[in-house]
Structure 1
Amino acid sequence: MQTVTLSLFRFDSPLSRLWVLGQMGAARLVLPRVPGLAFWKLCGSGTGEGFTPRPNWGVWAILSAWEDMGAARAGLAMNPYAKWQARADEQYTLYMEPASVRGHWGGQRPFQPAGEVTGPVAAMTRATVKPARALRFWGRVPDISAKVGSDPNVMFKIGIGEVPLLHQVTFSVWPDIASMAAFARRGPHAEAIRAVRDEGWFNEELYARFRLIGTAGTWQGHDPLAQTIQQEAA
């Protein structure tokens, strides 16, 4: 079964941040040669709750889709993952299995769904924003971001992106599909979804749900999803 990983890396010093900027080019030469790696994206992140147009130069991510869990564990022990982990001040990886997917990413269908989620669900939205609609898009997103950050049901969240302002990925983990769907139906998020449809903000969209199957490392000094994983395994 396909395994998807989201690996987050935090770099605190100016030198390490310069280093990872260079790696955004160098890693592209190495990743195509990693065995079992079917799809990957190198991403930066946003400040605050993550879903903002202001970049966070200290946090970077590698999103990867692997043939299976064995390939994921072996691949993450290789470069560039191992090199990034060695240089980072903190690193956190989420292991997931795709449950449902709608849309495309760069013209591809990168995730292979294998049934619905029962229990905690990771939600990912990826969009290519039309340049002419970027100002309206970013006028809405910070308000949505604040609502996501204050929602007591959100167990983890981050905003990342391939190209600043135009290629954006929102990622969040919820206790179940019902709580995630309830948030999506109300407030600024629901209004933004209507605007997306009515005004055609995006050139390309992808919506995916994943089953959370494991984590490794820490984020902000602890594993924010450790208890969730333990409850699922019990």
Structure 2
Amino acid sequence: MTLHVWRVPPARLGALLWRVARDRGRLRALPGARFAKVLGTGRGFTPGAVDATRWAVLTAWRSRSDAAGFELGTVARAWRRIAVAECRLDLAPLASRGTWAGQQPFEPDGPAAIGGAVVAVTRARLRPVRAVRFWRAVRPVAGAVAGADGLLATFGIGEAPLGWQGTVSVWRDAAALREFAYRGEAHARVVAATPAQRWYAEELFARFALVEVAGDRSLIGWAGP
């Protein structure tokens, strides 16, 4: 699996919008692409945190050769022509719970790896009548994750400006992620409230081994070595 992140300057907004509109369907037709999404990003996961100059493409591939082929293909080259910075994360699925657009695209291919950095991807489609209450509830979580021990990078992702949000976070190791997810007070409160509040029409949580980071790490807010 790959996560590409690009920085596109405001002067190229027209070309950016064309890429987003064209590639939503084009990506799914690429050889070896089992699942693909063009995603907007943000500094966090609330509507006011949107970063209109940073975009991402998340793709699950059937093989490593398919992923390598994408790097040389027309879609990736088109993004590079309009971008001023790029970062690519190569990921190996470790665990996944829930669905994304009715699919389970991140099922592990084999035994979970031990040790090393991990990446958590969350995604939720909010119920419109509960969206405002959800955003209020998660504000303390945003503050808590920013100062979490073992956090290397984090940013928000979204398929639409409102209601289709998620996060990407990179952690020093699986233990650091578990410490935040299950022992962090703010996060634990939101998790405990989720069944009663029924915020989500659909949700997914997936964990990956970070195989490689290539390119400009500052693009994803990297704070690690």
Fold conserved (TM > 0.5)?
A: yes
Alignment match of 2:47 (pick from 39, 44, 53) = 53
**What secondary structure is seen at the aligned counterpart in 1 of 2:218?**
coil
**Secondary structure, counterpart of 1:97 in structure 2:** strand
- Stretches (4+) displaced over 6 A: none
With normalisation by structure 2, the TM-score equals 0.91
Deviation at 1:159, TM superposition (A): 0.7
Structure 2 matches for 1:189-228, cutoff 5 A?
189-220=187-218, 224=222, 227=225
In the alignment, is the contact (CA less than 8 A) between 1:121 and 1:209 conserved in 2?
yes
Q: Which runs of 5+ in 2 are unaligned?
A: none
- How far, CA to CA, are the matches of 1:76 and 1:34 in structure 2? 12
Q: What is the match of residue 67 of structure 1?
A: 62
Letter in structure 2 aligned against 1:218: D
The residue type equivalent to 2:132 in the other structure is: L
Q: CA deviation at 1:77?
A: 2.0
Q: Is the 8 A contact 1:30 1:79 kept in 2?
A: no
Among residues 161, 174, 177, which one is paired with 2:174 in the alignment? 177
Query: What does residue 86 of structure 1 align with?
Result: 81
**87, 92, 97: which one pairs with 1:97?**
92
Structure 1 runs not aligned, ≥5 long: 228-234
**In the comparison of the two structures, how many residue pairs are matched?**
221
- The answer to which of 23-32 and 180-189 deviates more is 23-32
- TM-score with structure 1 setting the length: 0.88
Query: Which piece of structure 1 moves more, 187-196 or 214-223?
Result: 214-223
1:31-87 CA distance string (max 9 Å, x none):
2332111110011012xx332212211111100001121110111221222211221
Cα deviation digits, residues 113-137 of structure 1 (max 9, x gap): 1332422211111111110110011
In 2: Cα distance, 1:188 partner to 1:60 partner: 28
Structure 1 vs Structure 2 CA RMSD: 1.9
Q: Distance in 1 between matches of 2:224 and 2:67?
A: 19
Identity %: 35
